[in-house]
Amino acid sequence: MDEPILMDFIAAEAEQGLLGILLVAPQKIHDITGLITSEDFAYEINGDIFTKISEMITNDKKVSPVTLKPWFENRKDAPNSMYLAELAGAVISTLNCVSYAETIHASAEKRRFLDLLDEMKLKAFDDPDVSDLKLELSTRLENTSASVFVKTKQQVLIEVAESLKDSTEFYDIGIPRISKAMGGGLYAGFTYGFAGAEKSGKTTIAQTISYNLNETGVDHAYIALEMGSKQIEQRNVARSIGVNSLAFLGENKAGLIHPVADHTCKTNNNTLYLDMAGCSFNQIKAEIIKLVTQKKIRGFILDYWQLISGCEPRQSNSDFLFSIAQWCAGYCRRNGVWCIILSQLNRDGKLLGSAGIERACDQLYVLKASENELKEGIYITLTHSRYTPTIQMGNIQDPAFFINKKVGPYLDEY
């Protein structure tokens, strides 16, 4: 088989295979985010189908051959009226999704390269001096790749120089010692981990950070997998009106109606809650992508990591957790948002699925309870950091933080 014919055959097979998977399992599109664009498709009809599927998923519309048919049934370049149904019907397994996307992108890169060579050939016949053509070819080759991953050293250096013109984007979390350890606050594109044993204050620290970000007008999402949004917000409003959240359960709770109503009218509205207990990783990914693209959130809090469901039958739990942490880190880096991932330590003080979160996070903080009966509280160790020194804030006898239970509760500093 001739090379061009073989290339067309491989591209067509991969494109049809990928589209078939997306028609029967639309959530798989989140596995290939950033790997390809519609321009990578060799066949225009396939690229347009990919674009429409992406658009429908983003807008929470049902994706199937039936819902897509009206958009393409009158296309002259569609092989036949049953094309979409045939794509879906040919799917045997969804495991090849990423492989198909990689093949489509590789084929597109090869086509772009060959097209560029053909263009340079024609120019070479018309111009006897090829010195200018050599320079043009070199420049064009640097810009030919449509990959979102590959950059030359010069391109990166230009980005570095451009970034110096702007103020660095970070968000103070309102907890001075931790903000200082972060280098000022949460940085766009960075992933932060907070780990602790059961009932160690993980949700309290996340809820405190969220409250403080809301107060300073930072749009963000709180993905609640354990404690629900109502409970979290009861703690926040209790902090604001000066009571403990247990007051919402007491006999005199009716007396809180006016203070809560007043707080509701005055508070900022920069937090989006997602009550997703029991939800799968694909569902969570879909929501994150929509919030970043549509709501323009600056970051999200995932509370907590080990409660996410959706592990594949042949996948180990540690591999599954690793894939979650890596996806979050990669997505945040590519899209310029931050994320906070909460995780739980086991009874031995070990981090469940530690390899995944340690490799994914730019910083990992571990929360531990003090053993000083006269000074109850929490000390926090920054155990891993890619850009700052590791430090310990407080120690087992002299904690740096405590959970303020008079109001809230929320995390406070000594």
Domain range list for the chain: 1-164, 170-413
Instruction: Estimate the crossing angle of helix 97-126 against helix 131-144, to 10 degrees.
Output: 170
Query: Given a cut of 90, is residue 354 above it in pLDDT?
Result: no
Query: Which pair of tokens denotes residue 306?
Result: 């080990």
pLDDT band at 167 (very low <50, low <70, confident <90, very high): low
Cβ atoms of 115 and 140 within 8 Å: the answer is no
**408, 238 Cβ separation under 8 angstroms:** yes
Helices 281-290 and 44-58: angle between axes, nearest 10 degrees:
90
Segment 70-116, tens digit of pLDDT: 887 777 766 666 888 888 888 888 888 888 998 998 888 888 888 88
What is the DSSP annotation of 326-337? HHHHHHHHHHT-
pLDDT of 312 reads: 78
- Mean pLDDT, range 154-167, rounded to an integer: 74
Residue 2 confidence (pLDDT) above 50:
no
- The CA-based diameter of the chain, rounded to the nearest angstrom, is 93
Question: What residues are paired with 193 via a beta bridge?
Answer: 341, 364
CATH architecture entry for 1-164: Orthogonal Bundle (1.10)
pLDDT (tens digit, 9 = 90+) per residue, 266-316?
A: 999 999 999 999 998 888 988 998 899 888 999 999 998 889 988 878 778
Topology match between the domains 1-164 and 170-413: no
Give helix 229-241 / helix 202-215 axis angle, nearest 10°.
60
CATH number (1.10.1060.10, 3.40.120.10, 3.40.50.12780, 3.40.50.300) of 170-413 reads 3.40.50.300
Task: Kindly tell me if the per-residue pLDDT of 149 is higher than 80.
Answer: no
Beta bridge partners of 157: none
Give 399's strand partners. Answer: 394
Least confident window among 37-41, 155-159, 187-191, 195-199: 155-159
Tell me the pLDDT band of 341, cut-offs 50, 70 and 90: very high
User: Which DSSP state fits 407?
Assistant: S
pLDDT band at residue 7 under the 50/70/90 scheme: low
**Residues of the chain with pLDDT > 90: what percent?**
45
